[in-house]
Structure 1
Amino acid sequence: MVLLFVLGIAMVGSALILVSMATRGEAEASGINRSLAVLEAMSAAPSALTKDLDKPFSERVVDPLLQRFVGLGRRVSGADTGERLHRKLELAGNPPGWTVDRVVSAKVVGAMAGFLAGGLFAFVILDSPTMKMVAVAGGLAAGFMGPNMFLYQRAYDRQEKIRRGLPDAIDLLTISVESGLGFDAALQQVARNTDGPLAEEFARVLREMQIGQGRSEALRALGDRTNLPELRSFVSALVQADAFGIPIGQVLRVQSSEIRTKRRQRAEEKAQQVPVKITIPLIFCILPCLFLAVMGPAAISILASFSGK
């Protein structure tokens, strides 16, 4: 009887194990089938349904996050923020990926990052409560003004490049016009054979004229996109020549001579500023080292004499 009882228990246990294994296999099979069905549905789905998943991380996560800060940045910056930032972006050459909304949101993000960095610096290194407040406020202000400083530096560098390339570009434009080309063709020749911001501006003027804008309006827009007096004077002369029918070659020759003269005068002005600018490093950096090298041995000898050594 005991043998039969043990044998019955073993048979029942074996049956339970077989049933559980079969159930688990069916569950695993059904799970695999569901995964395969999802993958098949994703691959067979229309592109309009899967295009959101194909976007990069910056477009799916970063851009919506920055968009939330636009309203806060506009309330903090003021009502005319869009116009001022648009002007700065035009002067900076419209860097790729930089829009008014992007700059406003970057100011908010920069303020938050500057606040955290200033607070971390203050509470780790500084001890005075006043200095901690100053460090936190300075980090907040620096982070908020960071995008503006970037645009200002970008615009300054770009305007300087335009200033340096303007005389050569006008000379090439003058030679092209006097050799028989029309003004539009000469402008295209300059834009094609030169590089830099000025060539990009000339190419933009040509594109604006090709889409139907008048020559005077396109040239005035070129002057508005820069803050260089030389370029604005050049644009004003061309607009007046186009309005009054003055030969463009003669105007270009006069403008080329004037811009060359202004460049020489600016170089002479910079040269005259060198003695004044070198005074500060001369007083605080060069003269102390010179005095130390000249008077040091004498001072050591005097000290040795008075000490009786």
Structure 2
Amino acid sequence: MLPTPVLAAALAVALAVPLLGWALLARTQDAAARTRANLTRGLDLPGAAPARPRSRLLPRLARALTPAGTVARLNRLAGAAGRPAEWPVPRLVAAKLVLAAVAAALGGLVVSASPGPPALLMAAGVTGVAYVVPELLLYSRGQERQQAIALELADTLDQMTIAVEAGLGFEAAMARAGRNGRGPLAEELVRTLQDIAVGQPRREAYLALAERTAVPDLRRFIRAVVQADAYGVSIADVLRTQAAEMRLKRRQRAEEKAMQIPVKVIFPLILCILPTLFIVLLGPAVLDIAAAFGG
């Protein structure tokens, strides 16, 4: 008969693999499927397969086991990360539960093999880290996206300034910048124009753009645009001033990173390079001295 830890490990893997497969390979969200169905209703699309009913037991179970605050936090992080299609919120919720369950099962095996406070603390720590891994990955994606937006903002404002001074309106300049751009800022501009096109007020669309991206420089620019629209200030002057300010901030950030390089190099230099250098230079002399005194 197999030992109890082996049976427990097999049971944990048997329960975790189906949930992990669903979390990683699940199809699009129900909201996206409903939106696609509404858009294609009444259209005879060639090669379209008939819709099949989907089981909603696993999504409901995952939502029931996850606090509402965690789901809201994941939704906010997903918005900051641009809502990547491969990481929908239901899949993230399921991934958190699956990773935590697998880590808890493996931690239980470790604790049963060597009982004691250290093993128990290690199992609890690994389980907690596994539970927050999806949030950390999503937060990292959001940070990279915010940095890309902040880096592209100055050039985009320059393009919009040239377009406005050439006679285009502000929204037409936004459309041109979004059409010519390739980064996340261009995607956000296009989405903002789509929100305005479907009937959302311009002020709310601009504020939603600042809320989604959570980039301080872009939020400051949106606030200036909203105030200019409210008080009748020339939008060309606002764009020119904001573009100059963004270029100055980008230069200051580059100078700040350049000044941080010597401080960041100190620790690798002391811990990695200098010991190796001492061994290479002083090692033969130490060996000769030891051989001389030993003989």
TM over 0.5: yes
Q: Distance in 2 between matches of 1:265 and 1:240?
A: 26
Deviation at 1:207, TM superposition (A): 0.4
Instruction: Write the distance in 2 (CA, Å) between the matches of 1:264 and 1:155.
Output: 23
Tell me the alpha carbon deviations over residues 211-246 of structure 1, each in whole angstroms, 9 at most, x when there is no partner.
111222111111111222111111111111111111
**5+ residue gaps, structure 1:** 1-49
**Match among 159, 173, 178 for residue 146 of structure 2:** 159
The amino acid that maps onto 1:68 is L
| Corresponding residue for residue 237 of structure 2 | 250
Does residue 219 of structure 2 align to residue 226 of structure 1?
Answer: no
Take 1:111 and 1:160, find their aligned partners in 2: how far apart are those partners? 30
Residues in 2 aligned to 1:86 and 1:168: alpha-carbon distance in whole angstroms: 30
Q: Which residues in structure 2 correspond to 1:68-217 (within 5 Å)?
A: 68-74=61-67, 79-96=68-85, 98-120=87-109, 127=114, 129-217=116-204
- Report the secondary structure of 1:225's partner residue: helix
Q: Which has the higher contact order (CA 8 A, sep 6+)?
A: 2
- Tell me which amino acid in the other structure corresponds to 1:135: M
Partners of 2:287 and 2:207 in 1: how far apart?
71
Q: How does 1:276-287 map to 2 (within 5 A)?
A: 276-287=263-274
Matching residue's letter, 1:259: M
The one-letter code sitting in structure 1 at the alignment partner of 2:75 is H
Give the unaligned 5+ runs of structure 2: 1-49
Bigger shift: residues 135-144 or 239-248: 135-144
Q: Which residue of 2 aligns with 1:47?
A: none
**Max Rg structure:** 1
Contact 1:123 / 1:132 at 8 angstroms: preserved in 2? no
Deviation of 1:106 (Å): 2.6
Q: Cα deviations across residues 123-181 of structure 1 (Å, max 9, x unaligned)? A: 67xx4623321232122112211221121111111111111111111111111111111
Aligned equivalents of 2:140, 2:83: Cα separation in 1 = 13
Q: Which residue of structure 2 lines up, in the alignment, with residue 65 of structure 1?
A: 58
Paired residues, number: 246
Inter-CA distance 97–303: structure 2 relative to 1 (3 Å threshold): closer
Match for residue 241 of structure 1 among 200, 224, 228: 228
CA distance in 2, matches of 1:287, 1:101: 50
Alpha carbons 1:67, 1:101 under 8 Å: kept: no
Alignment RMSD: 2.0
- Bigger helix fraction: 1
Taking the aligned partners of 1:128 and 1:112, their CA distance within structure 2 comes to 20
On the 8 A contact 1:73/1:107 being kept in 2, the answer is no
Aligned match of 2:20 = none
Q: Which amino acid aligns with 1:73?
A: T
4+ residue stretches of structure 1 with deviation over 6 A? Answer: none
Aligned to 1:22: none
Contact 1:161–1:197 under 8 Å retained in 2 = yes
Aligned-partner Cα distance in 1 for 2:258–2:69: 40
